[in-house]
Structure 1
Amino acid sequence: MDPSINAANLAAPTADLSPLALFLHAALVVKLVMIGLVVASIWVWAVIFDKIVTLRKAKRQADEFEDLFWSGGSLDELYEKYGVKPSHPMAAVFSAGMGEWRRSARIDGIDMSSEGVKQRIDRAMSITITREMERLERWLTLLATIGPVAPFVGLFGTVWGIMHAFASIAQSNNTSLAVVAPGISEALFATAIGLLTAIPAVVAYNFFSNKLNLFAERLEGFATEFSAILSRQSEASMSARKENQE
C-alpha cells in the first residue's frame, strides 16, 4: 500500500456524528423526515402525559364518589350535589340513571317496577358510559397510528439518505470510510428517530388501552349495581302504594 495514501487517510478529519451535525448535513428530504418525526414524538409524549393526568384524576374522583355512594346517604341528596352538573365519568353515569328514574317517576300512573322503565334507565347509563369513554379515549388513536407508521417513515428517510450518499460518493470518486461514513450515519439517524418515536407510542397505547378497558368495566359494574338499587326501590315503592290503596 502506498504510504502517502495511508497517511492521507489517517490525517483525514474525524466526522462530527453529533445529532445536530447529522441533521444539518442531511439531505433536504431526510431533514423533512426528521422534523416530522420529532414533531410526532413531541405529540406522542404530550398525549402520554395528558392521559396519565386524566386517568389518575378520573380514578381518584371515581373512588371518592363511590365512597359517598356506598356510605348509605340519600340518593336524592347525592344527585343534587353531583348529578345535576357531573364533573367526572362516574358522576355522569349516576346522573344519567337517576335523571331517567326521576323523569319516569313524574309520569302519573306509570309502573316504576316495569321492564320498560328499567330498560330506559339501563340505556341512559349505557349511552353515557360510551360517551364518557370516547372522551377519555380521545387522541388514543394517534398513538395507534404513529406507533406502526413512524419506523417506516424513518426507513424512507434512511433509504433516501443512502441514495443521496451514494450519489455523492460517485461524484467525488472517493470510497474511503471517511467519505462514506457521514452520509450513511445521517441516513441511519432518520431510522433511529423513527424508532424513538414509535416505541413510546406503541407501549403507551397498549398500557392506556388496558387501563381504559378496566375503567370501562368499572363504570359498567357501577351502572349494573345502581340499576339494581333503583329497581329494588321502585318495587318497594309500588308495593307500598298497593298496600295503601288496599
Structure 2
Amino acid sequence: MTDELSVIELIVGASFTVKLVMAILVAASVTSWFMIVQRVIILRRADAELLDFEDRFWSGMDLAQLYREGSNAIDEGADITGGEALFRAGFKEFSKLSRQPSMDAEAIVEGSRRAMRVALTRESDRLEHNLPFLASVGSTSPYIGLFGTVWGIMHSFRGLATSSQATLAAVAPGISEALIATAMGLFAAIPAVLAYNRFAARVDALLNRYDAFVDEFSGLLQRQSYAQKGGSGQ
C-alpha cells in the first residue's frame, strides 16, 4: 500500500506538463482497450457468420431462396455483413444483368464480380476500422512518455540549481515522477502493438477467405450464366 501511495503522490506532485502527458497517455490507453474489446467481438462474430453462411451456401440450397432469406432478415432489422453481403451484391447484380437480352455471359459475370469487389472493399473498411488508431498509439505512446520524462528531469534539475544542497535526495523525487511518464507510455503502447498485430493478421485471414469466396461464386455464376445464354453470348 505504501508503494502505491508513493506512486500516487509522485503523480500528484508532478509538474503541469508531465501531468498533461500522463493524462494523454491514460486517455489513449483507455480508448485503445475499448477498441481492442470491440475488435475482438467484431472479428469473432465475423468468423462465426462466415462459417454459418458457408454452411448454408454449400448445402445445395437454391441461391434465390438464400437471397430471399437474407432480404427477410434485413426487413426484420438484421445487419447483413461478411460473406453473405458479398453473395447478395453479386447475386443481385447477376439477376439484374441476366434479365437484359443484350448482355452476354461474360459481361454478366464481370458485372457480378465487380459488384462483389465493391462489397469486399466495404467489408475490408469495416474490419480494419480503428486499427490505424491502435497502430498510432503503439508507435507514439513511448515517445510521448519519453517527452514527459525529459521535461520532468529538466524541471528537477532547474529546481536543483536553485537549491542550497545539491543532493540525490533533492533530485530523486523529481526524476522518479518523470520516469512514471515513460512507464505509462510503455503501458499504453505494448497492448496496442500486440493487439494491432493480432487483429491485422486475423483481418488478412478473413479477407483472404472472402476473396476465395468471390472467386468460387464467380465460377458458379459463370457456369450458370453460360447455361442460361447457351454459351453463345447472345
1:165 is aligned to 156
| One-letter amino acid of the structure 2 residue matched with residue 135 of structure 1 | R
State yes or no: 1:52 paired with 2:40: yes
Distance 1:240 1:131, change over 3 A: closer
Alignment of 1:8-87 (within 5 A): 18-82=6-70, 85=74, 87=80
| One-letter amino acid of the structure 1 residue matched with residue 155 of structure 2 | H
Alignment of 1:126-205 (within 5 A): 126-205=117-196
Identity %: 44
> Cα offset for 1:173?
2.1
Q: 2:83 aligns with which of 74, 82, 90?
A: 90
| Alpha-carbon distance in structure 2 between the residues aligned to 1:83 and 1:21 | 60
Q: Alignment partner of 2:60: what SS?
A: coil
| One-letter amino acid of the structure 1 residue matched with residue 19 of structure 2 | K
1:2-60 C-alpha deviation (Å, 9 max, x unpaired): xxxxxxxxxxxx99873321210100000000000000000111111010000000110
Would you say the 8 A contact 1:15–1:182 is kept in 2?
A: no
Pairwise CA RMSD: 2.1
Distance 1:103 1:199, change over 3 A: same
| Alpha-carbon distance in structure 1 between the residues aligned to 2:149 and 2:215 | 54
Bigger mean CA offset, 92-101 vs 227-236: 227-236
TM-score by length of 2: 0.91
TM-score by length of 1: 0.87
> Cα offset for 1:83?
5.2
2:197 is aligned to 206
1:99-154 C-alpha deviation (Å, 9 max, x unpaired): 0001011213433x2x2212111111011101111011111110111111111110
Would you say the 8 A contact 2:98–2:108 is kept in 1?
A: no
| Alpha-carbon distance in structure 2 between the residues aligned to 1:184 and 1:206 | 33
Distance 1:15 1:161, change over 3 A: farther
Structure 2: give runs of 5+ residues left out of the alignment: none
> Cα offset for 1:234?
1.3
Q: Alignment partner of 1:172: what SS?
A: coil
Would you say the 8 A contact 1:97–1:121 is kept in 2?
A: yes
| Alpha-carbon distance in structure 2 between the residues aligned to 1:134 and 1:189 | 37
